[in-house]
Structure 1
């Protein structure tokens, strides 16, 4: 579930950058409804999965809040990606 959340976090972050690029006029406004709907759906799924994964993983309120902020601050998904990658590495048992 953590790997799925990591992929979802990345997809949500990229879709947010796309919607910002469209709203700033860097990309044709013809894509607003498609990208906007995609981002909205990804954002809602992100919030639900964040609640489920953070509860299961036992993350602190600070970590939960940081991951929430990463979903609304442009390019903060990169920091969330690093946090989630470390969480996955810590969770896997070390085998030789």
Structure 2
């Protein structure tokens, strides 16, 4: 797979991971704790968990081809736990 295709795939994973995190935080969690409707947390949480692992794996696999510094690696992987972090990574580093 070419570097361009790997980067494009990681961009999509980054966007989907960011969206799933926002859905989990701002829709599923309030439904669970305010309206006592925990069902959505299970589905969105599972999707987010899979996308989170794909984001981390994709980031790690792109370290060498993208020639990221240690600081950049820390920022890219650290952004995975921030609500809008994956969108920042997608715009700044990809």
- After TM superposition, is the score higher than 0.5? yes
Q: Where do residues 46-85 of structure 1 align in structure 2 (5 Å cutoff)?
A: 46-84=55-93
Q: 1:78: Cα distance to partner?
A: 2.2
Secondary structure, counterpart of 2:81 in structure 1: coil
Aligned residues: 85
Gaps of 5+ in 2: 1-5
Q: 1:29: Cα distance to partner?
A: 3.3
Q: Which residue of 2 aligns with 1:9?
A: 14
Runs of 4+, deviation exceeding 6 Å: none
Q: Which residue of 2 aligns with 1:24?
A: 30
Distance 1:37 1:64 in 2: 25
TM-score, normalising length: structure 2: 0.79
Asked if 1 retains the 8 angstrom alpha-carbon contact of 2:14 and 2:87, the reply is no
Q: 1:49: Cα distance to partner?
A: 1.1
For structure 1, which segment, 38-47 or 54-63, has the greater mean C-alpha deviation from structure 2 after superposition?
Answer: 54-63
Q: Which residue of 2 aligns with 1:91?
A: none
CA RMSD, Structure 1 to Structure 2 (Å): 1.8
